[in-house]
Amino acid sequence: MMTSWTTHLPVFVVILPLFVGFILPTLARRLRLVENLVIAVEVISFVMAAALAVLLFKQNGSPIPYAMGGWPAPWGIRIIADNLGVLFLLVIAIVGLPIALYTKGNLREEVGGRSRTARFYALYLLLMGALAGMAVTNDLFNVFVLVEVATLSACGLVSAHRNPRAAEAAFNYLILATLGSGLVMGSIGFLYITTGHLNMEFAARELAQVWQHSPHVVWMAASFMLTGFGVKAAMFPLHVWLPDAHSMAPTPGSAVLSGLAVKGYLICLLKILYNVFGQTLMRHFTMHHVLTAAGIAAILAGSILALRQDELKRRLAYSTVAQVGYIILGFGFVNQRGLAGSLFYLASHALIKSTLFLTAGAIISATGKTKVSELAGVGRKMPLTMGAFTVASLGLVGIPLFSGFVGKWHLLLGSFESGNFAAAAVILAGSVFCAAYLFPILRNAYFQETPGENWQDPGMAQRAAFVLLSAAIIFFGILPTPLLTLAQRAAADLLFLQ
Amino acid sequence: MRDFILKRMIAVILAFIFVYGFYVILHGHISPGGSFAGGIIVSLSFIAFATVYGIDKGKEKLPEKFLVWVESYGTLWYGLMGLVGICKGAPFLANKLAGIDLGVPGTLSSGGLIGLIGFGVGIRVASTMITLFYTLMEGDA
């Protein structure tokens, strides 16, 4: 019996959050139950992701396929839990649980009434389900459907905040994200016309043979895909919606959007670029240069814009633009080290940025102040919250023994391997910028005083969330091997190295 | 609206639209249409009612709370049907592999679980459309 249940894991990982999410609006009157259900779902998702990772390590990284309804590909939909997918599933689970813990008992402050809060949770679980789906999907049209589910629930999460400005930010996001969806849809259409397949493996095999008959259509498909996902993943200069949306959303919403949602689109882009178009076509269309250039521009511009922000959440949002740049940069190196570094950085940034947003939210709700310059002395009055913020800042800057370092190190190795020394310089410069916009907050918090205020750390559940996240950041900084092995195997799969 | 003819006409046609909607939903696997199209038609019968007799009367007949329930559990129903396959030792959403008798092709019972899944999707689409209609009408007022 045990074996039969483990074979269904790839599909359970996706449907559990989706189907629990659907029934939450009917439980609006029993908000306690809703909160506990969401935490339970996150715990079970974590167990399932860990079980999948163990299975994958037992098989030495050969993927775990699952045919929906028993129909074989290309007729049926086949989902695959491969190294890349399991890596992302683990990230979702590790970040999702603390975010769910953080929401316990304090979401109504930002969101409002009971039914609004229940709906927030429903959207949160829908987004988690869609992201898990992106991790395991192997079908172009499913990618589109999951992207739409994720986008719409993300817009809902942004607009859930009571502040009317959140609705405006959500509307901007909706318009631009829909444009992105349209481009992705168009690209999938072109690919389907050219290859006649929606399954990624079959489409890739067909595309390698027929792309020369209609190179312009395939080029269009590739550039639509890049632009579409570029808008959704806030690739510089298509990031304009991100600072508003991510800073106006309720705190757990900001954390999940910056930490996970953006990464989901990047994973989809990575899958389609490497698994469907393949390295040869990417190099032929010089897409790796576009990716590298976009990455460099994002790191520099995002960091400089972040430096100029005085509002704490906006500064963190601009920092996300810069950090997405690192990930994109790694996609453009087209070698195993760079890709592995990029994937590890993706995982570590998911942890770090959700910690930063959650602690920032806790600080803002305790002090009522949103500006960086007003937060003098927070460090002594809220030691645990500011401690988690400090750990995450050190991680983001890339100090050794924190998870960000491992990712940046492998990115550097990748840039040397591809002979791109400008990129290497920008990676290092990015760290300096990052220190420049985060360390003043720390200095202010620890070495200055605001007399007379009685600020306190938040409740137990929130503290548990901060401890879990900081522990994960330090754990993956000291012992990166399990995650790094997954990332390296995923990179080898993407480059078809054996 | 106070138009007598309109009210009488709707009162007569309503039931037919409603039944036709469910006909389209249930015949989704053997004829054009399906749960989405059928669900829209079912919702149209209520939207016509609420337009002609007034939104308050429409909400009396079909409260929003009920719609939320249908929306949530209609979708859950889909998942439960998918789990039938897993309980029978076949993959998720399996139909024939789960040992379900598919009957004679072309007849209503030939879809196996698809008809049941379609029913869940149909009522979900219908309730969503009505919720959207209510929301738009409220925004207008």
Question: Chain A window 5-44: which residues touch B at a Cβ cutoff of 8 Å?
Answer: 8, 11, 15, 18-19, 22-26
* H-type alpha helices, A308-382: 312-333, 336-367, 378-381
Query: Angle of helix A262-270 relative to helix A140-159, nearest 10 degrees?
Result: 170
Question: For residue A445, is it within any domain?
Answer: yes
Question: What is the average pLDDT across A121-130?
Answer: 94
Smallest CA–CA separation between B55 and chain A, in Å? 22
* Residue of chain A with shortest Cα separation from B73: A23
The mean predicted confidence, pLDDT, of chain A is 90
Distance between CA A387 and CA A359 in Å, rounded?
9
CA angle B11, B129, A148 (to 5 degrees): 165
The residue of chain B nearest to residue A26, with distances taken between CA atoms, is B69
Residues of A in contact with B71 (CB under 8 A): 22, 25
Q: What is the pLDDT of residues A48-72, one digit of tens each?
A: 999 999 999 988 888 888 888 888 8
Q: What is the DSSP string of A393-461?
A: HHHHHT-TTSHHHHHHHHHHHHHHHTT-HHHHHHHHHHHHHHHHHHHHHHHHHHH---TT-------HH
Going by pLDDT thresholds of 50, 70 and 90, the confidence category of residue B24 is very high
Please name the residue of chain A whose CA is at the shortest distance from the CA of residue B77: A19
In a domain, A405, yes or no: yes
* One-letter amino acid for residue A248 of the chain: M
The greatest distance separating any two alpha carbons of chain B, rounded to the nearest whole angstrom, comes to: 59
Using CB atoms, pick whichever of B68, B69, B94 lies closest to residue A69.
Answer: B94
Amino acid type, B133: F
CB A69 to CB B76 under 8 A?
no
Contact flag B92-A69 (C-beta cutoff 8 Å): yes
Distance CA A94, CA A88 (A): 10
Minimal Cα–Cα distance from A13 to chain B, Å?
A: 12
User: Does the interface ipTM go beyond 0.85?
Assistant: yes
The conformation of residue A373, written as its DSSP 8-state character, comes to G
For residues A21 and A41, give the distance between their C-alpha atoms in angstroms, rounded to a whole number: 10
Question: CB of A173 within 8 A of CB of A165?
Answer: no
Q: Domain extents for chain B?
A: 4-140
**Percent of chain A residues past pLDDT 70, beyond the cut:** 99
DSSP structure class, residue A374: G
Is the CB of residue A75 less than 8 Å away from at least one CB of chain B? no
Q: Would you state the pLDDT for residue B34?
A: 86
* A189 at B interface, C-beta within 8 A: no
Alpha carbons A428 and A412: distance in angstroms, whole number = 8
Question: Hey, CA dihedral for A140, A142, A144, A150, is it positive or negative?
Answer: negative
Q: How confident is the model at residue A130 (pLDDT cuts 50, 70, 90)?
A: very high
B76 inside 8 A of chain A by CB: yes
Spell out which residues of chain A touch residue B91, defining contact as CB-CB under 8 Å: 8, 11, 66-70
Structure tokens at A391: 């750990």
What is d(CA A340, CA A337) in angstroms, rounded to the nearest whole number?
5
**Residue indicated by tokens 């399954």:** A199
- B71 in contact with A, Cβ within 8 Å: yes
Asked if the C-beta of B89 comes within 8 angstroms of chain A's C-beta atoms, the answer is: yes
The candidate with the shortest Cα–Cα distance to A261, out of A273, A249, A274, A272, is A249
Render pLDDT for B51-105 as a digit per residue (tens, 0 to 9): 888 888 888 888 888 998 998 899 899 888 888 888 887 888 888 777 777 878 8
Q: Which residues of B touch A26 (CB under 8 A)?
A: 68-69, 72-73
What distances in angstroms separate CA A491 from CA A331, A336, A438, A495, B8, one per listed residue?
Answer: 10, 5, 31, 6, 68
pLDDT band at A449; cut points 50, 70, 90: confident
Residue A449, domain member (yes or no): yes
Q: Do B90 and A15 touch (CB under 8 A)?
A: no
**Mean pLDDT throughout A207-231?**
92
Q: Please answer yes or no on whether A23 and B68 come within 8 Å at the CB atom.
A: no
- pLDDT band at residue A1, thresholds of 50, 70 and 90? very low
Is pTM beyond 0.90? Reply is yes
Does residue A68 sit at the B interface (CB-CB below 8 Å)?
A: yes
Q: Tell me which chain B residue has its CA closest to the CA of residue A19.
A: B76
Q: Is residue A381 part of a domain?
A: yes
Contacts of A45 (CB under 8 A, 6+ apart): A13, A16, A17, A92, A93, A96, A97, A128, A132
Task: Assess whether pLDDT exceeds 50 at residue A368.
Answer: yes
Which residues of chain B from 9 to 28 reach within 8 Å of chain A, CB to CB?
none
| Cβ-defined contact of B76 to A19 (cutoff 8 Å) | yes
Q: Dihedral (C-alpha) A132, A323, A340, A131: value to the nearest 10 degrees? A: 0
| Contact assignment for A15 to B79 by CB distance below 8 Å | yes
Interval A277-294 mean pLDDT:
90
| Interchain CB contact of A461 with B (< 8 Å) | no
Q: Which residues contact A447 (CB under 8 A, 6 or more apart)?
A: none
The answer to whether the CB of A345 falls within 8 A of the CB of A283 is no
Q: Where would I find the H helices in A59-163?
A: 83-103, 108-111, 114-136, 140-159
Q: Is the pLDDT of residue A158 over 80?
A: yes
Domain residues for A445? 333-498
Q: Is the dihedral of CA A473, A478, A479, A484 positive or negative?
A: positive
Our measurement of the distance from residue A101's CA atom to the centroid of its chain's CA atoms, rounded to an integer in Å, reads: 18
Indicate whether A66 belongs to any domain.
no
B72 contacts on A by Cβ (under 8 Å): 22-26
Q: How many domains does chain A have?
A: 1
- Nearest Cα of chain B lies from the Cα of A22 at a distance, in angstroms, of 5
CA A90 – CA A340 distance, rounded (Å): 16
Report the distance separating Cα A74 and Cα A76, nearest Å: 6
Task: State both tokens at A404.
Answer: 């960000």
- With an 8 Å Cβ cutoff, are A15 and B93 in contact? no
**A219 has pLDDT over 90:** yes
Provide the 10 A C-beta neighbour count for residue A16: 21
